[in-house]
Structure 1
Amino acid sequence: MDQIASSLTDWTLWEPDLRTTLIFVRRDDALLLIEKKTGLGQGKINGPGGKIETGETPAAGALRELREEVGLTAFEPQLAARLFFSDVEDLNILVYVFVTDQFDGEPQETIEAKPIWVDVKDVPYEKMWEDDQYWLPQVLNGESVDGYFQFSGERLVSFHVDPLGHGTPPKL
């Protein structure tokens, strides 16, 4: 399925209530994911990430969240996606997605997350946010994308994915 329904959101008027990050660490054909233990998405599988703090760049936020959630120090994160979410728990959320294969250490379980390595061919999309299946495969193939996702609670009701910077992005 490339897209579902037409969007209910006027993306040219959309503004984020919350700016967050995700970072996907690769080791050869393995991908670091986490089982989220607290907060938004608790119980789901995802990449490490979280809120960008005041005065922090998205890349710095992604690296900080990776350290806090699984104890890894990473380097040279590459922007792979910007994801625009409407109506996730009544919030508009902007997510900057980074990828890297440059890191030190081994992931450790924390109060926030349980780290798991998976083969990139075996990503457990059925345990992740519904939108992940529509953009993450492209990112794992080295593409960069903008994704626009309209939710109703935790249910995806419409979406479209464009090459990074080729759509009409909302106000950032």
Structure 2
Amino acid sequence: MEDCSVDWSVWQGEMPATLMFIVRDGEVLLIEKLRGIGMGKINGPGGKIDPGETPLECVIRECQEELHITPIKPVKMGELWFAMSDIPDIHCHVFTATEFEGTPTATEEAVPIWTKIEDIPWDKMWEDDAHWLPQMLEGQKFLGRFLFEGERMQWRDVQLEDAGVSGWLIS
């Protein structure tokens, strides 16, 4: 893995975004993304934050639009900072929930996939997911910084809350 050429002390994500991972009974609700950034990949529901919208409002709206569900009491677990080569840099707020209203339903944007946590299809996901998602699913808050060239991860740094990461999580 090469050295990071990004000065994270001044980095600003051009595209604010969210992700949601609903977990219950040893399973996590994932989606197959049907369009937009990450089309064809497996991920959690989420998307771009609209102007004037908070990350929490966005993640609820995106779950409603993509899967026709409303997460109940979402908890912010971390942030992902992506320095990208071919799309705008992304600052992503990541949430979990254990309850929701509605029935996960396929839409033009996403197909819902309930997956046993031990069977998460890492090979169909973004490379960075394997470096923070398992810890998050165990309840750890985090900050992940990643450098991508196309869809290939070139550099990574993941800090867990118990290693001194705090404060920046609640925004």
2:147 corresponds in structure 1 to 150
| SS in structure 2 of the partner of residue 31 of structure 1 | strand
User: 1:100-145: CA deviations, max 9, x gaps?
Assistant: 0121121000000000000011111110001000010010110000
Q: Which runs of 5+ in 1 are unaligned?
A: none
Q: Say which of 78, 81, 85 aligns to 2:78.
A: 81
1:32 corresponds in structure 2 to 29
2:65 corresponds in structure 1 to 68
Contact 1:29–1:119 (Cα < 8 Å) also in 2: yes
1:5 corresponds in structure 2 to 2
In structure 2, distance between residues paired with 1:121 and 1:25:
15
Higher relative CO (Cα under 8 Å, sequence separation at least 6) belongs to 1
Counterpart AA for 1:62? V
Q: Percent identity?
A: 43
2:14 corresponds in structure 1 to 17
Q: Residue 82 of structure 1: CA displacement?
A: 0.2
TM-score by length of 2: 0.92
| SS in structure 1 of the partner of residue 84 of structure 2 | strand
Q: Say which of 48, 51, 58 aligns to 1:51.
A: 48
In structure 2, distance between residues paired with 1:54 and 1:39:
19
Counterpart AA for 2:31? I
Q: Quick check: 43-52 or 25-34, which moved more?
A: 25-34
Q: Residue 50 of structure 1: CA displacement?
A: 0.2
In structure 1, distance between residues paired with 2:6 and 2:127:
18
Q: Residue 166 of structure 1: CA displacement?
A: 2.2
In structure 1, distance between residues paired with 2:85 and 2:68:
28
Q: Which runs of 5+ in 2 are unaligned?
A: none
Q: Quick check: 87-96 or 62-71, which moved more?
A: 87-96
Count of paired positions = 167
2:111 corresponds in structure 1 to 114
The runs of at least 4 consecutive aligned structure 1 residues that moved more than 3 Å come to: none
1:131 corresponds in structure 2 to 128
Q: Residue 5 of structure 1: CA displacement?
A: 3.4
Contact 1:22–1:62 (Cα < 8 Å) also in 2: yes
Counterpart AA for 1:28? D
In structure 2, distance between residues paired with 1:151 and 1:129:
10
